[in-house]
Amino acid sequence: MRSAINPSNIGSNYPSAWPIVEPARRLHYTETTPSLSAAKECRPMPVLKPLVKADIRALYRLRVRSDQETFVGPNGLTMAQAPFEPGSEIFGIWEGETAVGLLAIIDFSHPQADLQDGDDPNSLYIWRLLIDADHQKRGYGTLALNHAKKMMHDKSLPALYIAAVDKAGSAIPLYEREGFCRTGRIVEGETELIWRP
């Protein structure tokens, strides 16, 4: 049987004063430890899903604040126009079972895309981006922009465009924070911005 090691039976090659190591302390939950029910509620991870028939009503009901109503068309109009916009795709922005926004994209490289003078035929265009008034300032707009950037990359397109009303309360500051730059072009009364990787 082995004896416990202590400095007296090791020999003179080892230090005579070994450091004292205290045993690991166990952590105990006390009454001051917050309970799990008091912990911050976890929200589901937001996702973008292609539009399907079952989602139309939930997305139709979304609204921006009253002071933003002139900044973006309503979702009902976007969903009605999409079948007549070649190269368009619509995505619902969801947090769990809750619809929080809508992203509509047009692929200007689509062979039948309805381009206006000055549109870049080798690009992706964010046609509409609407985040519901009750869900703004929570990162959903950034999530949608990143989704559009990934789509642009996946399609091997060099540019992503968006246009917005240039008034107080518009989303232009968000777009500029996310790397979009003004092109100097006005499209149907809106300021055009571009993003390139």
In a domain, 148, yes or no: yes
In a domain, 19, yes or no: no
SS3 helix, strand, coil % of the chain, rounded to 5?
A: 25, 25, 50
What is the distance between the alpha carbons of residues 94 and 101, in angstroms, rounded to a whole number?
7
In a domain, 171, yes or no: yes
Residue that wins the pLDDT comparison between 21 and 146: 146
Q: Look at residue 5 and tell me whether its pLDDT is greater than 50.
A: no
Q: Look at residue 38 and tell me whether its pLDDT is greater than 90.
A: no
| 46-96 pLDDT tens trace | 999 999 999 999 999 999 999 999 999 999 999 999 999 999 999 999 999
CATH code, domain carrying 191: 3.40.630.30
In a domain, 31, yes or no: no
Overall domain count for the chain? 1
pLDDT score, position 25: 53
In a domain, 109, yes or no: yes
Instruction: List all residues 6 or more positions away from 103 whose beta carbon is below 8 Å from its beta carbon.
Output: 48, 90, 91, 93, 126, 128, 129, 144, 147, 148
Instruction: List all residues 6 or more positions away from 1 whose beta carbon is below 8 Å from its beta carbon.
Output: none
Residue that wins the pLDDT comparison between 6 and 50: 50
Average confidence (pLDDT) over 107-129: 96
| 22-33 pLDDT tens trace | 555 554 444 444
| 149-169 pLDDT tens trace | 999 999 999 999 999 999 998
pLDDT score, position 133: 96
Name the nearest CA neighbour of 72 among 153, 165, 178, 10: 165
Residues 128 and 102: beta-carbon distance below 8 Å: yes
For residue 120, the enclosing domain spans 46-195
Question: Mean pLDDT for the chain?
Answer: 86
pLDDT score, position 180: 98
What is the distance between the alpha carbons of residues 168 and 132, in angstroms, rounded to a whole number?
18
In a domain, 24, yes or no: no
What is the distance between the alpha carbons of residues 117 and 120, in angstroms, rounded to a whole number?
9
In a domain, 89, yes or no: yes
Q: Look at residue 129 and tell me whether its pLDDT is greater than 80.
A: yes
The helix/strand count (H/E) of the chain reads as 4, 7
Helices (H), 53-196: 56-60, 75-81, 140-154, 172-177
pLDDT score, position 44: 83
